Amino acid sequence: MNPSFDYITYGAEATSREVTQLLRHLLDRAFAPSQLPTANRPLPSPLCIWGRHGIGKTELVEEIARELGCRLAYLSPAQFEEMGDLVGMPQIAGEATRFVPPDWAPREDGPGILLIDDVNRADDRILRGLMPLLQRHELVSWKLPPRWQIVLTANPDGGDYSVTPLDDSLITRMLHVTMSWDLPSWAAWAERTGIDARGIQFVLTYPELVSGERTTPRTLVQFFRQLEGLGDLKRELGLVKMLAEASLDRETAAAFLSFVQRQLHQLILPEEILQASDFAAVENRLKKLYEQETQRVDLLSVICTRLIHYAQRPDIQLNSLHLENLERFLTIEWIPGDLRFAMAQELVQSDAAALRQLIGRPAIGKLLLQ
């Protein structure tokens, strides 16, 4: 149990990357073919992912299902009013009454994930009805097919959340982990997903504004999606203000408007650095950005982070020019050494083979050994 700020969650606190690692491990076990007869196979333990609203718990599970190409059945028990919504409806067949399974119940063998979303927003009667599904993978009218993993999401108990407390008999039927929002994982996901670059730069510049009265990672992404197709945000400031206040709290909306007015949304893009045929011109732009009344290390850090994640995107095919420009960037002497070292270290440890080749370049090797 993790009591914090009147919130109660369960399991270790973990970043989205760590939760992904845990879930993939469980799925590997659940999906693996077994030599045992079906009746003798141990049932995979359900995993409950706890965390505050809007941090991407549901999206994480859906993304893993897409990556693995497995089936995904979605269940939102908060919508259920009666037990029949969960177990199905009775039907008279001859002299017997049988329950007809609901249409959302999985019928085909896995691999598959049964996602029970926002489980503790369900009525207490529905929660009690879920117990045999969590323990035996079956209800009165249907049984979960082989090679399916049950995954649940839940908001913290207590505080300002309107949730139904889970009793010990439910808690002990599941594995638990608490997912927390972390900037590096979000930035990598946003780059990979194609979130508007100006939005990514804003979050990297002001990560402390991600959590507010109405501001969450989910509402930020909702807002950034509305910016797509808008070219000059400064010229469209009135529209941008309305869009921001439609999704975010006033503090975050005001910060984004200031971000636009100060033209920080026009930071140099990763693709401009990688594709530059005249790198000296790019370096001059970087230096002007850095050498203001106070040295803007924070803006350089944003650019470095975006460049790291952009270069690791699976849809980016790195060529010799890209690698040359990465080396040039990493060897700009006026950029603080700790920024360049951290960036080089992450790039050479990347899964991308082209980036790992950087370690063979003398200038990069020297940087890493300093």
How far is residue 263's CA from residue 241's CA, in Å, rounded to a whole number?
Answer: 15
What's residue 162's pLDDT?
77
Beta bridge partners of 49: 153, 177
102 CB-near residues (< 8 Å, 6+ apart): 85, 86, 87, 88, 141, 142
Min mean pLDDT across 83-87, 286-290, 324-328 is at 83-87
Provide the total of helices (H) and of strands (E) in the chain, helices listed first: 17, 11
pLDDT confidence of 6, banded at 50, 70, 90? low
What's residue 201's pLDDT?
87
- Residue 273 structure tokens: 């650095």
Q: What is the DSSP string of 217-249?
A: HHHHHHHHHHHTT---TTTTHHHHHHHHHHHS-
Pick the residue with more confidence: 160 or 300? 300
Q: Are 269 and 285 in contact (CB under 8 A)?
A: no
Give backbone dihedrals phi and psi of 96, rounded to 5 degrees, phi first: -120, 155
pLDDT confidence of 266, banded at 50, 70, 90? low
- Residue 199 structure tokens: 């939005």
Residue 174 has pLDDT above 90, yes or no: yes
What's residue 52's pLDDT?
87
What's residue 72's pLDDT?
96
The enclosing H or E element of 153 equals strand 148-154
Reported as a single tens digit per residue, the pLDDT across 313-348 is 877 788 889 999 988 999 999 999 888 898 888 888
Assign domain 2-180 to a CATH class. Answer: alpha beta
Reported as a single tens digit per residue, the pLDDT across 132-155 is 999 999 888 888 999 999 999 998
Q: Are 109 and 146 in contact (CB under 8 A)?
A: yes
The boundaries of every CATH 3.40.50.300 domain in the chain are: 2-180
pTM (two decimals): 0.74
Residue 223 has pLDDT above 60, yes or no: yes
Residue 24 has pLDDT above 50, yes or no: yes
How far is residue 201's CA from residue 305's CA, in Å, rounded to a whole number?
Answer: 9
